[in-house]
């Protein structure tokens, strides 16, 4: 994962500058929220569902080693092959080996955030293999040469006109700006790719440990084609994506579809258990399941372990007021929004961690994300904790450190505290002009007026009142 | 009934009228109010910036100053949902490693209340109604995130405000969205903070309200300061202030 050449502040400025996109994102968030509110109202007992889901995730992650073993064994029993990939390099090496063994020239892919994380497409291209994204949103961002803007809606930031231009370029003719016509074009253009591809790569929403089943949740039918037409199917999955049983899957899928898209039921729930069996009509000849760590195990046994409970519904981004204004690309990583701000530094390798720590400051700590999480990950508490880690690791500016120390002392020393009050009163009194003042005060007055400094502080008023009262009693 | 006022750093320094209003409302409700002069700040600024060790000093000082008040039969009343959340939710985490301090804090914690929570749940709105406050105004109430989400106190301020005869609370779009203050967030990420503030100011103004109410002066300082810089008239008041006005106007 890498933010590229730009700094976080530059990406924030870029995001904020795009007022059209901000308006679109705002209305998208509003619409998604309205849909979800309605679905939840019909459903009822939302808090019980969330608590049950949290328990399932907690139990699974606490016993992840055992469930991984059970899952891998079950996949093998069903005729699949399993590869545990410690990192991105190991995963891509394995995928390329399989591809080369089968003389693969083109690959069709259904939506997978893990494959974004692994940069599988780049690895394939490097080996002369052409990958085609077949999820409509992923197809659009692939053509645009961008990263997904949102975990669930990779291209929600693209206008119809932008999509029309991308598709027209591909078609070699001007396409009409009609949504139906544009999707029809994508469908038709991709159809041949499905038939030609020798390999299909999919993600995995859930792996059922009990049976070794890979479960995919999708709305476009492309996942079905990706996983059945090519002769080789490679699943890339995060190592935390397991549920113990079918009953647990029921709970998790019920929450995922409602939280991700506000749907009571998804269009396609695909369950894959092994490759094509003898006597079966369809399915791939080979099934490979690549189980990816890539930094995930760094969270195990830490206070951040619950971040592994995430089921990638993207709802934290849907309610986040910061995401609303800066957009998904400002985060700079594969995962964005509140969960991205948490996962990016925690999954990063060695010194890469440093560059992701600043994401934790891009939050007003309003807690909307934590409330909106189907599995109750304490997202905003984690952001505070990450700031604590940053301070401890010396990543925060020394001036800030000094101010906090002084402030800390003054909160325990009333005399010092009152002196501090006098200083701030004095400075605030002078700061009639914009941008006046040092440090945080200057940063405040640059954009906002300070309230007028009152004649007395409250404590001065209280003291004088008490004195008057005492005189009155005399 | 006895209440020890923890006025908060912002009200002490910039909005003393909020503290004065709390004193007046509580006294009119028959509550004996004290103000321990050794009190300082809850330390949330350090906590949210990642300097937990600095906020531990604030937490211990708070315990030292207020436990005597509570032992003397008083509740601690705070005109800020955010500071109340800091004390009730985060102090226990901060002092977890020090059993003696933790025990002292827990003795105290059940007696710590946000202002409207105290009025609604401890004093009771019936007592407030007896004062028959009245104020003809169209008002929008801005709920702070820390108060409604962390502290879980969302209905109480509305309950308290509903006692004011003639005060019409108007709804507005995205009532529960953050205003963009976020403590040090406002100065560390000013552009994002301002973008959020701008949207909130627009929604508040679109409500048609002439008066804007809150339980957290941090939100008020940010929104009011931004509105003032933009030349937008956004008169903010704390819940305690309109109660006093309502009682005086009677």
Q: Are B46 and A396 in contact (CB under 8 A)?
A: no
Contact between B190 and A13 using a beta-carbon 8 Å cutoff: no
Residue A91 is classified by DSSP as H
Residue A202 has pLDDT above 80, yes or no: yes
Give the closest of A321, A404, A434 to B46, CB-based.
A404
**pLDDT tens digits, one per residue of A261-307:** 999 999 999 999 999 988 888 899 999 999 999 999 999 999 999 99
**pLDDT tens digits, one per residue of B31-87:** 999 999 999 999 999 999 999 999 999 999 999 999 999 999 999 999 999 999 999
The CA distance from A31 to the nearest CA of chain B, in Å, is 12
Residue A435 has pLDDT above 60, yes or no: no
The CA distance from B222 to the nearest CA of chain A, in Å, is 7
Contact between B195 and A16 using a beta-carbon 8 Å cutoff: yes
Contact between A454 and B20 using a beta-carbon 8 Å cutoff: no
Residue B97 has pLDDT above 50, yes or no: yes
Give the nearest chain A residue to B144 (CA atoms): A366
- In this prediction, residue A397 carries a pLDDT of 86
**pLDDT tens digits, one per residue of A115-149:** 999 999 999 999 999 999 999 999 999 999 999 99
The CA distance from A441 to the nearest CA of chain B, in Å, is 8
ipTM for this prediction:
0.96
Residue A473 has pLDDT above 50, yes or no: no
Of the given ranges (A21-25, A73-77, A443-447), which has the lowest mean pLDDT?
A443-447
Contact between A16 and B191 using a beta-carbon 8 Å cutoff: yes
Among residues of chain B, what percentage have pLDDT more than 70?
100
Q: Per-residue DSSP letters for B194-205?
A: HHHHHHHHHHHH
**pLDDT tens digits, one per residue of A311-322:** 999 999 999 999
Contact between B189 and A362 using a beta-carbon 8 Å cutoff: yes
Contact between A428 and B16 using a beta-carbon 8 Å cutoff: no
- In this prediction, residue A2 carries a pLDDT of 46
Among residues of chain A, what percentage have pLDDT more than 70?
96
Structure tokens at A45: 């007992």
Contact between B174 and A453 using a beta-carbon 8 Å cutoff: no
User: Which 231-250 residues of chain B touch chain A by CB within 8 A?
Assistant: none
Contact between A412 and B53 using a beta-carbon 8 Å cutoff: no
- Give the distance from CA A263 to its chain's centroid: 20
**pLDDT tens digits, one per residue of A222-275:** 999 999 999 999 999 999 999 999 999 999 999 999 999 999 999 999 999 999
Of the given ranges (A419-433, B62-76, B168-182, B227-241), which has the lowest mean pLDDT?
A419-433
Compute the count of residue pairs across chains A and B with CB atoms less than 8 Å apart: 190
Q: How confident is the model at residue A440 (pLDDT cuts 50, 70, 90)?
A: confident
Residue A326 has pLDDT above 60, yes or no: yes
Contact between A454 and B17 using a beta-carbon 8 Å cutoff: yes
- In this prediction, residue A239 carries a pLDDT of 98
A12 touches chain B (CB under 8 A): yes
- Taking the whole predicted model, whether its pTM rises above 0.90 is answered as yes
- In this prediction, residue A4 carries a pLDDT of 59
Q: How confident is the model at residue A363 (pLDDT cuts 50, 70, 90)?
A: very high
**Which residues are within 8 A (CB) of A224 and not within 5 positions of it... i.e. 6 or more apart?**
A218, A268, A270
- In this prediction, residue A468 carries a pLDDT of 85
Residue A92 has pLDDT above 90, yes or no: yes
At A206, is the secondary structure helix, strand, or coil? strand
- In this prediction, residue A436 carries a pLDDT of 61
Structure tokens at A358: 């600043």
The CA distance from A245 to the nearest CA of chain B, in Å, is 33
**pLDDT tens digits, one per residue of A63-72:** 999 999 999 9
- In this prediction, residue A200 carries a pLDDT of 98
Q: Helix axis angle, A19-43 relative to A46-62, nearest 10°?
A: 100
- In this prediction, residue A429 carries a pLDDT of 77
- In this prediction, residue A1 carries a pLDDT of 41
- Give the distance from CA A460 to its chain's centroid: 49
Mean pLDDT of A447-471: 90
B50 touches chain A (CB under 8 A): yes
User: Which 77-116 residues of chain B touch chain A by CB within 8 A?
Assistant: none
**Which residues are within 8 A (CB) of A284 and not within 5 positions of it... i.e. 6 or more apart?**
A200, A227, A228, A230, A231, A232, A233, A275, A276
Give the nearest chain B residue to A327 (CA atoms): B192
* Mean model confidence pLDDT for chain B: 97
Give the nearest chain B residue to A365 (CA atoms): B182
Residue A453 is classified by DSSP as P
């Amino acid at each position: 994962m890498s933010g590229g050449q730009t700094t976080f502040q530059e990406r924030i400025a870029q995001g904020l500058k795009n007022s059209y996109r901000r308006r679109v994102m705002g209305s998208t968030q509003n619409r998604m929220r309205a849909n979800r509110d309605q679905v939840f109202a019909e459903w009822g007992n939302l808090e019980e569902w969330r608590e049950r889901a949290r328990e399932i995730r907690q139990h699974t992650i606490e016993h992840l080693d055992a469930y991984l073993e059970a899952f891998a064994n079950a996949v093998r029993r069903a005729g699949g092959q399993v590869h545990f990939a410690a990192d991105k390099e190991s995963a891509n090496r394995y995928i390329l080996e399989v591809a080369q063994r089968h003389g693969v020239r083109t690959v069709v892919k259904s939506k997978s955030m893990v494959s974004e994380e692994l940069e599988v497409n780049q690895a394939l291209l490097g080996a002369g293999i052409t990958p085609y994204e077949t999820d409509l949103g992923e197809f659009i961002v692939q053509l645009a040469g961008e990263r997904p803007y949102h975990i669930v809606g990779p291209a929600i930031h693209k206008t119809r006109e932008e999509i029309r231009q991308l598709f027209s370029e591909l078609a070699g003719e001007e396409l009409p700006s009609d949504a139906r016509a544009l999707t029809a074009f994508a469908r038709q253009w991709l159809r041949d790719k499905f038939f030609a591809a020798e390999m299909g790569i999919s993600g995995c929403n859930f792996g059922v440990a009990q049976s070794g089943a890979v479960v995919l949740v999708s709305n476009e039918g492309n996942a079905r084609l990706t996983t059945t037409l090519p002769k080789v199917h490679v699943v890339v999955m995060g190592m935390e994506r397991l549920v113990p049983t079918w009953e647990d899957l029921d709970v998790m899928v019920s929450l995922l579809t409602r939280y991700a898209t506000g749907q009571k039921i998804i269009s396609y729930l695909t369950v894959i258990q092994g490759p094509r069996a003898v006597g079966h009509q369809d399915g791939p000849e080979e099934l490979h399941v690549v189980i990816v760590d890539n930094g995930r195990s760094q969270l195990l046994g830490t206070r951040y372990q619950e971040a592994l409970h995430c089921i990638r519904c993207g709802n934290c981004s849907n309610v986040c007021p910061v995401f609303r204004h800066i957009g998904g690309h400002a985060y700079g990583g594969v995962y964005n929004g509140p969960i991205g701000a948490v996962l990016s530094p925690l999954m990063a390798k060695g010194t890469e961690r440093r560059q992701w720590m600043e994401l934790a400051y891009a939050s007003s700590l309003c807690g909307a994300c934590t409330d909106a999480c189907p599995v109750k990950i304490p997202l905003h508490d984690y952001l505070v904790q990450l700031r604590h880690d940053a301070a401890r690791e010396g990543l925060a500016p020394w001036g800030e450190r000094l101010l906090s120390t002084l402030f800390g002392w003054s909160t325990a020393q009333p005399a010092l505290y009152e002196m501090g009050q006098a200083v701030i009163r004095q400075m605030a009194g002078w700061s009639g002009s914009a941008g006046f003042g040092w440090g945080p005060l200057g940063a405040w007055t640059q954009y906002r007026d300070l309230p007028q400094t009152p004649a007395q502080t409250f404590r001065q008023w209280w003291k004088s009142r008490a004195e008057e009262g005492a005189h009155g009693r005399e | 009934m006895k209440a020890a006022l923890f006025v908060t750093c912002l009200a002490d320094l910039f909005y003393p009228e909020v503290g004065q209003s709390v004193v007046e409302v509580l006294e009119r409700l028959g509550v004996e109010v004290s103000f321990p002069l050794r009190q300082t700040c809850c330390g949330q600024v350090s906590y949210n910036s990642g300097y937990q060790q600095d906020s531990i000093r604030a937490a211990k000082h708070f315990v030292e100053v207020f436990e005597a008040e509570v032992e003397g039969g008083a509740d601690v009343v705070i005109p800020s949902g955010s500071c109340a959340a800091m004390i009730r939710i985060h102090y226990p985490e901060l002092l977890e490693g020090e059993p003696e301090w933790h025990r002292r804090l827990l003795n105290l914690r059940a007696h710590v209340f946000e202002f409207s929570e105290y009025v609604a749940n401890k004093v009771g709105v019936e007592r407030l109604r007896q004062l028959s406050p009245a104020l003809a105004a169209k008002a929008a109430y801005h709920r702070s995130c820390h108060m409604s989400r962390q502290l879980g106190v969302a209905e109480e301020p509305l309950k308290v405000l509903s006692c004011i005869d003639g005060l019409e609370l108007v709804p507005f779009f995205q009532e529960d969205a953050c205003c963009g203050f976020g403590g040090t967030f406002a100065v560390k990420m000013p552009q994002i903070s301002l973008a959020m503030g701008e949207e909130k100011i627009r929604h508040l103004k679109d409500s048609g309200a002439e008066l804007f109410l809150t339980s957290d002066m941090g939100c008020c300082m940010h929104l009011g300061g931004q509105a003032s810089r933009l030349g937008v008239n956004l008169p903010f008041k704390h819940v305690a202030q309109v109660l006093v006005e309502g009682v005086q106007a009677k």
